[in-house]
Amino acid sequence: MIDLRRIRENPQAIMDALSKRGMQNAKELVDEVYTLDLEKRRIQAQLEEVSSRLNSMHKTINHPLHQTATVSIGLDQKEATHHLKEKHKILMGAYKSCESALLEKLYQLPNLPAQEIPIGKNAKDNQIIYQVADLPKVKPGDAAHWDLIKKYDLVDFELGNKITGAGFPLYQGRGARLQRALISFFLDKAVEAGYLEVQPPILVNAASAYATGQLPDKEGQIYHITADDLYLIPTAEVSITNMYRDYIVDLAELPIKCAGYTPCFRREAGSWGADVRGLNRLHQFDKVELVQICHPDHSYRQLEEMLTYVRSLLEQLELPYRVVQLCTGDLGFCAAMTYDIEVYSVAQDRWLEVSSISNFETFQANRLALRYKDKKKKSHLLHTLNGSALALPRIMAALLEFNQNPLGISIPKVLQVYTGFDCIV
């Protein structure tokens, strides 16, 4: 959530920044926020005045000298006090209504894009920061991963569909072993890199979903258990970041670095076309997530560190990849800057996103009430970051397609200690 003070100080700058995202109603929303904030503060001033007068009256009525005053004076005071209490009640109702409307409008505003990122309308305007020099070429007989999965009996989509529905695959045999190997490899590497491993809940309450920006922005796209008002997480970022909701961090703790594996659930996966075939897009998938909380002065340094770390994972897996910096029009709702890492699918001849690494600056911290205190004991918002390290389905798809040969599918050396086999035959 954008810090309200920034809107008060320079609403036009906020409108301009949001317009770079391609937000058509930026001016309208910012104007509404600005007006509601003025109204809220006006009502608040009236509330404070009425409260002050009530306090003075209570002191007067309860003063020992007043107890000897005439009955008529006491009745006048009580009538005036009753009138002020009624006015206070009305003002409090108006204040809460205005505060609720203001918060609703603030929740609709996405984060401001960082000044350094490219301005653009959509993914076509993203900038390629790095790309492997030589892309592998498809060889005669090479197959797409969905055919390899069927050939080697690694994933049963039909059985998953029978048990649950489309987009819920059932991994089996060496497919399940490869999944487990990837999870263990990613977690072990995260711990080596200084991340605290956590295993968080995969269900969160509405307060947690609002705190990290999934609500109300992605309402309808995440699974909602209405009976208990709980949500299935679309990423472990939600659970892990909310570990620090309503938290004041000691500066000595920074940066806080956590990593966690969870299944992830997304309703918007789709159901047709090559883009969603096989493991390309699912309703349920596994992912290891990285979360960092750091001092505002250091967040972009930490973002680059996260990028370097995730790149190292793909290099150890020996997969061809590229790094893309998202333009203003392609940014996620909460992000100020994002790098996407994509692996090259040989058989599909296209790039598949396997990681998104973002700096949210103070956007989530403002919702989370996540702060630190300086030497003068003054509170300041922290910065939050997160990144996939990595999302498993497309990694598996790329591994199968990239490592296929006439005898089977070779397993990268770094995974063999986890799988217990070096080839799927």
Which residue positions form the known binding site for L-serine? 235, 266, 289, 386
* Distance, CA of 59 to CA of 319 (rounded, Å): 76
Structural tokens at position 200: 């968080």
Annotated binding site for ATP: 266-268, 353-356
Question: How many Å apart are CA 290 and CA 307, to the nearest integer?
Answer: 11
Rounded to whole angstroms, the Cα distance separating 255 from 303 reads 12
Q: Which long-range contacts (CB under 8 A, 24 or more apart) does 50-58 make?
A: 50/84, 50/87, 50/88, 50/91, 51/88, 53/84, 54/81, 54/84, 54/85, 54/88, 57/81, 57/84
**Cβ atoms of 336 and 112 closer than 8 Å:** yes
What is the C-alpha end-to-end distance of the chain, expressed in Å?
A: 51
Which residues are known binding-site members?
Answer: 235, 266-268, 289, 353-356, 386
Q: Hey, what are 397's tokens?
A: 């798809």
CB 88 within 8 A of CB 47: yes
CA dihedral 314, 316, 319, 322 (to 10 degrees): 40
CA angle, residues 369, 375, 380, in degrees to nearest 5:
20
Please name the residue ranges forming H helices in 66-132: 71-107
CA–CA separation, 175 vs 165, rounded Å? 20
Tally: H helices and E strands in the chain: 13, 19
Parallel, antiparallel, or unpaired for β 350-361 and 383-391? antiparallel
Q: Contact at 8 Å (CB) between 379 and 361?
A: no
CB 219 within 8 A of CB 371: no
Which residue type, as a one-letter code, is found at position 238?
V
